Amino acid sequence: MTEKRRRKFSKPGFAKKSLGQNFLVDKNYIQKIIAALDPRRDETVIEIGAGRGAITKEIVEYAEKVIAIEIDRELIPLLREEFGARENFILIEKDALEIDFSALTAFQSPAPKTKLVANLPYYISTAILQHLIGYRRSFSEMILMLQKEVVERIISPPGNKERGFLTVLIERYFDTEKLFDVPGNAFRPSPKVTSSIVRLKPIEFSGVSGDEELFRRVVSAAFSQKRKTISNNLKTAGDDISQRLETNGGLEEVFRKANIEPSKRAEALTIAEWESLLEIVGHG
């Protein structure tokens, strides 16, 4: 590769395929996202993946404070040049998966007045969503752009074959609303997929099982092989879950107490049924 070609591909602001970057450039969709976010003077907005600042440029005009998180070191100078003089702008050069969001928002306790907006690349969206679930109490709401198929999966109702582990986690902890689609031609470069905007509002969870890690492990085990029934999947779950099942009378007895048909697949269970199951398994 010639030196000229090297400079071309290392140009600051050039979308990197390795980071799943597609920059939103359509002003109509930018404004629709801002309208959905509705940033206000008494709120902090955290933006994951500030990119070249298309959305940042809007929210710094409305929010009390904007905390932009960007992992691409080549975009950092561009963002600093554009927004560094703004008193309400803070830039963090870090992977969002390494961010302790509760520390960023601790100053707003007890009532969270922090919103999150993010354009999440497909390859890392599941990991970041799981990370954000753990910090959900830090936010009043999240406006997320995800691949359309991911959004359809996380809003799928019980019985839908698209329903999975992440669907159940999100349904347990959030009110979820799909807002609108964003076509590929709204980005540069244009992806071959459609994106969707979804709103997640943390709910005050009142379920019977307070052990969130146990909930994750049981749901994960239940979905381990989607073609199998939930009972068959739990038969081969880890030692901790197996021991809890035995302590509570064995698999058949646990399902009887939870009033769940053992022949059901995991995607068929409602949140109420998951809670019933966890109430019993959690006593192990």
Tens-place pLDDT, residues 14-49: 444 444 458 899 999 999 999 999 999 999 999 999
Residue 79 has pLDDT above 70, yes or no: yes
pLDDT category, 255, cuts 50, 70, 90? very high
C-alpha 256/C-alpha 88 separation (Å) is 56
Tell me the per-residue pLDDT of 263-280, one tens digit each, with 9 for 90 and over.
Answer: 999 999 999 999 999 989
C-alpha 201/C-alpha 256 separation (Å) is 34
User: Kind of pairing, strands 114-119 and 44-48?
Assistant: parallel
- Give yes or no for a contact between 95 and 70, defined as CB atoms under 8 angstroms apart: no
- Give yes or no for a contact between 83 and 64, defined as CB atoms under 8 angstroms apart: no
The answer to whether the predicted template modeling score (pTM) of the entire model surpasses 0.75 is yes
How much is the pLDDT for 237?
A: 85
Of 120 and 206, more confident: 120
> Among candidates 125, 55, 46, which has minimal Cα distance to 92?
46
Tell me the per-residue pLDDT of 228-246, one tens digit each, with 9 for 90 and over.
Answer: 999 999 988 877 888 999 9
- The one-letter amino acid at 7: R
Residue 122 has pLDDT above 90, yes or no: no
Residue 175 has pLDDT above 80, yes or no: yes
- Give yes or no for a contact between 202 and 176, defined as CB atoms under 8 angstroms apart: no
Residue 125 has pLDDT above 50, yes or no: yes
Which stretches within the chain are classed as H helix? Answer: 3-9, 27-37, 56-59, 76-83, 101-105, 122-134, 148-154, 165-173, 212-222, 230-235, 239-247, 251-258, 271-281
Tell me the per-residue pLDDT of 192-211, one tens digit each, with 9 for 90 and over.
Answer: 899 999 999 999 765 545 68
Of 126 and 283, more confident: 126
How much is the pLDDT for 141?
A: 96
C-alpha 277/C-alpha 165 separation (Å) is 15
- Give yes or no for a contact between 67 and 42, defined as CB atoms under 8 angstroms apart: no
Q: Which long-range contacts (CB under 8 A, 24 or more apart) does 229-238 make?
A: 229/262, 229/263, 229/264, 229/265, 230/260, 230/262, 230/264, 230/265, 230/266, 230/269, 231/255, 231/262, 231/263, 233/266
How much is the pLDDT for 68?
A: 97
Residue found by looking up tokens 């197996």 in the block: 242
Query: What integer best gives the mean pLDDT of the chain?
Result: 88
The two three-digit tokens of residue 64, written as one number: 């009390």
pLDDT category, 124, cuts 50, 70, 90? confident
Residue 223 has pLDDT above 90, yes or no: yes
C-alpha 95/C-alpha 65 separation (Å) is 20
Buried b (16+ CB within 10 A) or exposed e, 116-133: bbbbbbeebbbebbeebb
pLDDT category, 8, cuts 50, 70, 90? very low
pLDDT category, 284, cuts 50, 70, 90? low
Q: Under 8 Å CB-to-CB from 232, ≥6 apart: which residues? A: 225
How much is the pLDDT for 206?
A: 53
Q: Taking residues 120-138, report their average pLDDT.
A: 91
Sign of CA dihedral 161, 120, 197, 220: positive
pLDDT category, 5, cuts 50, 70, 90? very low
